[in-house]
Structure 1
Amino acid sequence: MRQFPLETLRVAPGRLVEWRLRSPDARQAPDGGPGSARRASSNQDKHFTSAEQSRGSDDQVASWVAVTFELSGPLDRTALEAALLAFVRRHEVLRCAFQRLAGDLSCASYPPENLALDTAELGEFTTTEAVRSFLADRFRATIDTLGWPLFTMGAVVRDASSTVYLAFDHIVCDGVSMPNVVHDIARAYTAALDGREPELPPTGSYLDFADTQRRRFLALTAEDAGLDHWRAYTERAGAFFPPFPLDLGVEPGRMYPIVNEACTLLDAAGAAAFDQVCRDAGGKPFMGVMAALARSLREAGGPEVYRALMPVSERGDGPWRHAVGWFVNTMPIEFPVTPGTDLPELMAHVKAAFTEMIRHVDVPFVRAWELLAPEHFAAPAWPYPVNFFSYIDMRRCPGADHHEVWRPTTHVWSSRANGACLWFQRDDEGLHMNVIHVDTPQARRTMTGLEQILSRTVLEISGTVVARRPSVSTLATLGTLRQQAGVAPVGAAR
Structure 2
Amino acid sequence: MTARSDRRSLLLRQLRTTLPTAPAPAGGDRAEAPLTGAQSGLWVIDQIDPGSSQYNVPLAYRLHGHLDLAALDRALAAVVARQEALRAVFDAEDDEPVQRFQGPTAPLRVVDLSTRTGADRERELREVLRAGSNESFDLATGPLLRVVAVCLGADEHVLLVVPHHIVFDGWSVGVFLRDLGACYQAELTGQPADLPALGGTYGDYARWHREWLAGEECRRTRDHWLTRLADLPAPVDLATKPRRPYAAAPGTPVPVGVDATSAAALDETCRRAQVTPFMVLLAAFAVVLSRRTGATDLLIGSPMANRPLPYTRHLVGYFVNLVVLRVDLGGDPTLAELLGRVRDVAVEAYEHQHYPFPELVDHLAPHRDTTVPPMVPVTFVLQDAEQEVATDWPGLRIEVEELRVDGTVSDLTVSLAPGPDGLWGDITYRADICDRSDIEDLASAFARTVREFASDPDVRVSSLDV
TM-score (normalizing by structure 1): 0.75
Task: Quote the Cα distance in structure 2 between the aligned partners of 1:101 and 1:156.
Answer: 39
Q: Tell me which residue corresponds to 1:10.
A: none
Q: Tell me which residue corresponds to 2:387.
A: 397
Task: Quote the Cα distance in structure 2 between the aligned partners of 1:207 and 1:38.
Answer: 5
SS at match of 1:457: helix
- Residue identity in the other structure for 1:347: L
2:197 pairs with 1:202: yes
Task: Quote the Cα distance in structure 2 between the aligned partners of 1:315 and 1:410.
Answer: 28
Q: Tell me which residue corresponds to 1:63.
A: 55
- Contact 2:379 2:412 (C-alpha < 8 Å) held by counterparts: yes
Q: Tell me which residue corresponds to 2:179.
A: 184
Task: Quote the Cα distance in structure 1 between the aligned partners of 2:355 and 2:155.
Answer: 49
Alpha-carbon distance change, 207 to 374 in structure 1, aligned in 2, over 3 angstroms: farther
User: Could you tell which deviates more after superposition, 95-104 or 74-83?
Assistant: 74-83
Alpha-carbon distance change, 145 to 220 in structure 1, aligned in 2, over 3 angstroms: farther
- Contact 2:90 2:100 (C-alpha < 8 Å) held by counterparts: yes
Deviation at 1:327, TM superposition (A): 1.0
2:91 pairs with 1:99: yes
Q: Superposed, which structure 2 residues align to 1:428-443 within 5 Å?
A: 428-440=420-432, 442-443=434-435
- Contact 1:248 1:440 (C-alpha < 8 Å) held by counterparts: no
- Contact 1:304 1:336 (C-alpha < 8 Å) held by counterparts: yes
2:144 pairs with 1:150: yes
Task: Quote the Cα distance in structure 2 between the aligned partners of 1:128 and 1:272.
Answer: 39
2:383 pairs with 1:387: no
Task: Quote the Cα distance in structure 1 between the aligned partners of 2:376 and 2:325.
Answer: 16
Q: Tell me which residue corresponds to 1:214.
A: 210
2:398 pairs with 1:406: yes
Offset from partner CA, 1:354-392 (integer Å, 9 cap, x none):
112233233222222223318749x79734772222221
- Contact 2:221 2:355 (C-alpha < 8 Å) held by counterparts: yes
Alpha-carbon distance change, 453 to 110 in structure 1, aligned in 2, over 3 angstroms: same
Deviation at 1:232, TM superposition (A): 1.9
Deviation at 1:428, TM superposition (A): 3.0
- Residue identity in the other structure for 1:454: F
Task: Quote the Cα distance in structure 2 between the aligned partners of 1:268 and 1:161.
Answer: 32
Deviation at 1:254, TM superposition (A): 4.2
Offset from partner CA, 1:287-333 (integer Å, 9 cap, x none):
11111111222232442233212221112571111211111122221
Q: Tell me which residue corresponds to 1:37.
A: 32
- Contact 1:315 1:327 (C-alpha < 8 Å) held by counterparts: yes
Deviation at 1:448, TM superposition (A): 2.8
Q: Superposed, which structure 2 residues align to 1:223-262 within 5 Å?
A: 224-238=219-233, 243-251=235-243, 253-262=245-254
Task: Quote the Cα distance in structure 1 between the aligned partners of 2:295 and 2:380.
Answer: 16
Deviation at 1:199, TM superposition (A): 0.5
- Contact 2:171 2:388 (C-alpha < 8 Å) held by counterparts: no
User: Could you tell which deviates more after superposition, 450-459 or 299-308?
Assistant: 299-308
Task: Quote the Cα distance in structure 2 between the aligned partners of 1:400 and 1:279.
Answer: 30
Q: Tell me which residue corresponds to 2:158.
A: 163
Deviation at 1:178, TM superposition (A): 0.9
Task: Quote the Cα distance in structure 1 between the aligned partners of 2:254 and 2:266.
Answer: 19
SS at match of 1:388: strand
User: Could you tell which deviates more after superposition, 382-391 or 280-289?
Assistant: 382-391
Alpha-carbon distance change, 291 to 412 in structure 1, aligned in 2, over 3 angstroms: farther
Deviation at 1:53, TM superposition (A): 1.1
Aligned residues: 421
Match of 1:327 among 319, 343, 352: 319
Alpha-carbon distance change, 422 to 234 in structure 1, aligned in 2, over 3 angstroms: same
Task: Quote the Cα distance in structure 2 between the aligned partners of 1:164 and 1:268.
Answer: 31
- Residue identity in the other structure for 2:32: A
Q: Tell me which residue corresponds to 2:6.
A: none
User: Could you tell which deviates more after superposition, 164-173 or 368-377?
Assistant: 368-377
Q: Tell me which residue corresponds to 1:447.
A: 439
Task: Quote the Cα distance in structure 2 between the aligned partners of 1:458 and 1:270.
Answer: 8
- Residue identity in the other structure for 1:424: L
Deviation at 1:413, TM superposition (A): 3.6
Offset from partner CA, 1:16-51 (integer Å, 9 cap, x none):
xxxxxxxxxxxxxxxx99685211112222212212
Task: Quote the Cα distance in structure 1 between the aligned partners of 2:392 and 2:329.
Answer: 39
2:100 pairs with 1:108: yes
SS at match of 1:366: helix
Alpha-carbon distance change, 447 to 62 in structure 1, aligned in 2, over 3 angstroms: same
Task: Quote the Cα distance in structure 1 between the aligned partners of 2:404 and 2:38.
Answer: 17
SS at match of 1:271: helix
Match of 2:124 among 102, 105, 130: 130
Q: Tell me which residue corresponds to 1:9.
A: none
Q: Tell me which residue corresponds to 1:470.
A: none
Alpha-carbon distance change, 35 to 144 in structure 1, aligned in 2, over 3 angstroms: closer
User: Could you tell which deviates more after superposition, 408-417 or 446-455?
Assistant: 408-417
Offset from partner CA, 1:170-222 (integer Å, 9 cap, x none):
11111121111221112222232222111111233222212321243258999
Offset from partner CA, 1:269-293 (integer Å, 9 cap, x none):
5434433332333211111111111
5+ residue gaps, structure 2 = 1-26, 456-466
2:133 pairs with 1:139: yes
Task: Quote the Cα distance in structure 1 between the aligned partners of 2:391 and 2:72.
Answer: 21
SS at match of 1:321: helix
Q: Superposed, which structure 2 residues align to 1:299-378 within 5 Å?
A: 299-316=291-308, 318-337=310-329, 341-373=333-365, 376=368
SS at match of 1:180: helix
Alpha-carbon distance change, 288 to 375 in structure 1, aligned in 2, over 3 angstroms: closer
Task: Quote the Cα distance in structure 1 between the aligned partners of 2:95 and 2:371.
Answer: 17
Task: Quote the Cα distance in structure 1 between the aligned partners of 2:404 and 2:333.
Answer: 35
Match of 1:289 among 255, 270, 281: 281
Offset from partner CA, 1:52-104 (integer Å, 9 cap, x none):
21238xxx563311223344421112221222111111110101111111111
Task: Quote the Cα distance in structure 1 between the aligned partners of 2:309 and 2:164.
Answer: 25
- Residue identity in the other structure for 1:135: L
Alpha-carbon distance change, 74 to 417 in structure 1, aligned in 2, over 3 angstroms: closer
Identity of aligned residues (%): 24
Task: Quote the Cα distance in structure 1 between the aligned partners of 2:450 and 2:67.
Answer: 42
SS at match of 2:170: coil
- Contact 1:249 1:442 (C-alpha < 8 Å) held by counterparts: yes
- Contact 2:73 2:108 (C-alpha < 8 Å) held by counterparts: no
Task: Quote the Cα distance in structure 2 between the aligned partners of 1:98 and 1:411.
Answer: 28
- Contact 1:64 1:412 (C-alpha < 8 Å) held by counterparts: no
Task: Quote the Cα distance in structure 1 between the aligned partners of 2:334 and 2:357.
Answer: 32
